């Protein structure tokens, strides 16, 4: 039977963004319950460890991380960034949520290299793809997928890694971190214009960045065509040794934060296509990181499709 390792931790439920905030613990509760209902795939659950600061500093400036943790309140909420639109709330339990979210990807990287496991889903929050090397943004503080990438390169000498981001928002943080790095290909399909406003097609880095902005109202077929032509074809040429996914379910038609019209089953198609490429170039090795997705019913259905596509 095919096998999937799911990393998560109860600390990830403790991150609190205030009343009526879309990035809430119910997202993980829903995903966990849905994953538990899957019985035709062997799912191994593991506890995400605390990420060491040394590994976080592979990506983030030390002062940024230290100052952020110093701001964590003993009660109530504070924001990391001054501008409220940045939406970076810290609650008393933030530190462990952030460190466990990042630790999930690091532990998955260890399993992938040392134990030769091949498929992973990191069921974590807070998400990471908006976090830049020295700035938090859009519910993100540490860039989980970026730390995993650098960790694989520094500790295990992996050379070429591709990050595919199908969250409906552009991963400005991941793009910023790898903007001048030919060893990492970052490819994103996202609604535009939309928060955070980056991700235009001419943002090309050193030829390693591929952005596919799509307009509000885009439906399944058009989305998948663009995904194949502007994302997957470039991954195919790059031949990555490992593929990481920034997995957001907010391009679903039910999602309250965006206006793309994917169906739950589309996440199976998209994921399956990524896995097919990984079999060609990456020995089938894929680590998927939860980013966005804010409608609970959409999450419930989409995660099952994503996991079915993964294994
Ligand atoms: Zn998103």
Residue 2, pLDDT score:
82
DSSP 8-class letter at 50: P
Concerning whether 130 is annotated as a catalytic residue, the answer is yes
pTM higher than the cut 0.95: yes
Stated as kind and residue range, the H or E segment containing 243 is strand 242-247
Whether the CA torsion 231, 225, 195, 167 is positive or negative: it is negative
In terms of Cβ atoms closer than 10 Å to its own Cβ (0-12, 13-18, 19+), residue 131 is buried
Helix (H, G, I), strand (E, B) or coil at 208: coil
Local structure of 126: helix, strand or coil? coil
CA–centroid distance, residue 239 to ligand 1 (Å): 26
Token pair in block for residue 75: 């009660």
Query: What pLDDT score does 83 carry?
Result: 87
The H or E element spanning position 7 is: strand 3-8
Do 257 and 168 touch, CB atoms closer than 8 A?
Answer: yes
CA 167 to ligand 1 center in whole angstroms? 5
| Beta strand ranges found along 251-292 (DSSP E) | 286-290
* Span from the CA of 291 to the centroid of ligand 1 (angstroms): 6
Torsion angle, CA of 169/172/174/177, rounded to 10 degrees? 180
Comparing C-alpha atoms, which of 134, 108, 111, 137 is closest to residue 123?
108
Q: Output the six-digit token pair for 198.
A: 């980056």
Q: Which of 302, 299, 275, 265 is nearest to 4 (CA)?
A: 275
Place of tokens 């943002």: 203
Dist CA 226 CA 192 (whole Å): 14
CA distances from 287 to 53, 68, 174, 192 (A): 21, 27, 15, 26
166 Cα to the center of ligand 1, angstroms: 9
Low-confidence stretches of the chain (pLDDT < 50) are none
Quick one: CA dihedral 22, 28, 303, 243, positive or negative?
A: positive
pLDDT of residue 136: 98
Residue among 130, 169, 170, 252 flagged as catalytic: 130
How is residue 256 written in tokens? 């309250």
pLDDT of 1 reads 62
pLDDT tens string 110-142: 999 999 999 999 999 999 999 999 999 999 999
Cα separation, 210 vs 24, in Å, equals 30
Model pLDDT, residue 202: 98
- What's the CA-to-centroid distance between 226 and ligand 1, angstroms? 18
Nearest to 122, CA basis, from 143, 93, 137, 139: 143
Answer for the pair 101, 144: CB distance below 8 angstroms, yes or no. yes
pLDDT value, residue 292: 98
**How far is 151 from 236, CA to CA, in rounded Å?**
23
pLDDT tens track for 245-266 = 999 999 999 999 999 999 999 9
Residue entry with tokens 């390693």: 208
**Near ion ligand 1, which residues have CB within 5 Å?**
167, 169, 248, 250, 292
């Amino acid at each position: 039977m095919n096998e999937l390792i799911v990393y998560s931790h109860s600390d990830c439920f403790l991150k609190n963004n205030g009343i009526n905030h879309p990035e809430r613990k119910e997202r993980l509760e829903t995903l966990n319950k849905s994953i538990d209902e899957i019985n035709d795939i062997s799912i191994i659950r593991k506890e995400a460890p605390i990420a060491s600061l040394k590994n976080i500093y592979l990506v983030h400036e030390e002062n940024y991380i230290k100052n952020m943790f110093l701001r964590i309140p003993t009660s109530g909420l504070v924001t990391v960034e001054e501008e409220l639109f940045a939406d970076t709330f810290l609650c008393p339990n933030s530190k462990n949520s952030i460190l466990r979210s990042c630790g999930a990807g690091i532990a998955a990287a260890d399993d992938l290299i040392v134990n030769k496991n091949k498929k992973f889903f990191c069921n974590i929050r807070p998400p990471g793809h908006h976090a830049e090397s020295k700035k938090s943004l859009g519910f993100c503080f540490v860039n989980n997928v970026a730390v995993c990438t650098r960790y694989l390169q520094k500790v295990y000498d992996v050379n070429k890694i591709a990050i595919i981001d199908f969250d409906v928002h552009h991963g400005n943080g991941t793009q910023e971190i790898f903007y001048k790095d030919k060893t990492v290909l970052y490819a994103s399909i996202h609604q535009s214009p939309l928060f955070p406003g980056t991700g235009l097609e001419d943002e090309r880095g050193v030829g390693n960045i591929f952005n596919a902005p799509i307009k509000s109202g885009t439906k399944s077929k058009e989305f998948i065509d663009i995904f194949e032509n502007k994302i997957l074809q470039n991954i195919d040429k790059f031949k990555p040794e490992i593929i990481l996914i920034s997995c957001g379910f907010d391009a679903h038609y039910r999602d309250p934060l965006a206006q793309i019209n994917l169906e739950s089953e589309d996440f199976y198609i998209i994921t399956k296509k990524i896995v097919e490429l990984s079999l060609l170039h990456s020995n089938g090795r894929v680590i998927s990181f939860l980013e966005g997705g804010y409608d609970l019913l959409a999450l419930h259905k989409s995660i099952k499709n994503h996991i079915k596509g993964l294994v």
